[in-house]
Amino acid sequence: SQQGEEDPQALSIQEGENATMNCSYKTSINNLQWYRQNSGRGLVHLILIRSNEREKHSGRLRVTLDTSKKSSSLLITASRAADTASYFCARGAWAGTASKLTFGTGTRLQVTL
Amino acid sequence: DVKVTQSSRYLVKRTGEKVFLECVQDMDHENMFWYRQDPGLGLRLIYFSYDVKMKEKGDIPEGYSVSREKKERFSLILESASTNQTSMYLCASSPQGLTVAYNEQFFGPGTRLTVL
């Protein structure tokens, strides 16, 4: 079953506005990662936050992690049309003999001019 | 520049055919993964491999098998394709051994498979 769920499923904003996407999960994690996917293409890694971290920045991206609430958020500031894509959170956790990522269902972001 | 390539962008096969999806990475990564992506379901892990000739089942391995004879190549095999295997298939790789969760994954462009 999916362990990471993004909210909202779809988001439409104007260029220059901020976009916030949320991710919830059910079990413990080692880290949480965010990926971007442009239409019909492969995923690109954006940022990784470890379970003992609370906030991380990368350029216009800000990720927060609240392990007590089992949730994370991705904030894109001053959005651009090029940010239009689907965004996925991925929970990194041990699974038996190894560890793996479990992806959520994604948030589709549309940034209009 | 890191690169993961997949043999085909689009593939059309008939029910019952044996299908091979190939993935090659040039980053000397130990770990490789196969996912399928379906609308509303996100990415689901089919199989992964953390070393040559090693493989582990993911969340949905039924109907699939994999082969990893060389470090850079990871193949996904549909023994007898069915219409419910119509999907986007994504390959990924990441460095290091068992600590895959600590490393970002690098994705290929995907193969959109249609089974008629």
What is the pLDDT at residue B95?
Answer: 83
Please tell me which of the candidates B42, B101, B105 has its beta carbon nearest to residue A93: B101
Asked if residue A97 is part of any domain, the answer here is: no
Give me the number of domains chain A comprises.
Answer: 1
In a domain, A98, yes or no: no
Q: Which class does domain B4-110 fall in? A: mainly beta
Length of chain A measured in residues: 113
Computed over every residue of chain A, the mean pLDDT equals 90
Substitution target from A94, A101, A102 for chain B, most B beta carbons within 10 A: A101
- pLDDT in the model for residue B103: 76
The verdict on residue A99 lying in a domain is no
| DSSP-based three-state secondary structure for B89 | strand
What are B9-21's pLDDT values in tens digits?
A: 999 999 999 999 9
Rounded to 10 degrees, what is the CA torsion of A90, A94, A95, A100? 40
Q: Is it the case that residue B59 has pLDDT exceeding 80?
A: yes
Residues of A in contact with B4 (CB under 8 A): 42
Residue A33 counted as domain residue: yes
Task: Flag whether A41 is in a domain.
Answer: yes
Question: Which residues of A fall within a CB distance of 8 Å from B58?
Answer: 100
Would you say residue A100 lies in a domain? no
Contact B98 A40 (CB under 8 A): no
| Residue-averaged pLDDT of chain B | 92
pLDDT tens digits, one per residue of A3-38? 558 889 999 999 999 999 999 998 888 889 999 999
How many other C-beta atoms lie within 10 A of the C-beta of residue A48?
A: 19
Tell me the DSSP string of B49-85. ESSTT--EE-S--TTEEEEEEETTEEEEEESS--GGG
- At residue B60, the pLDDT reads 96
* pLDDT reported for residue B101: 57
Decide if A41 and B92 are in contact by the 8 Å CB cutoff. Answer: no
Whether residue A95 has pLDDT greater than 70 = no
Nearest to B101 among A2, A41, A92 (CB): A92
- The reply to whether A57 falls in a domain is yes
Q: Using CB atoms, which residue from A4, A43, A105 is nearest to B41?
A: A105
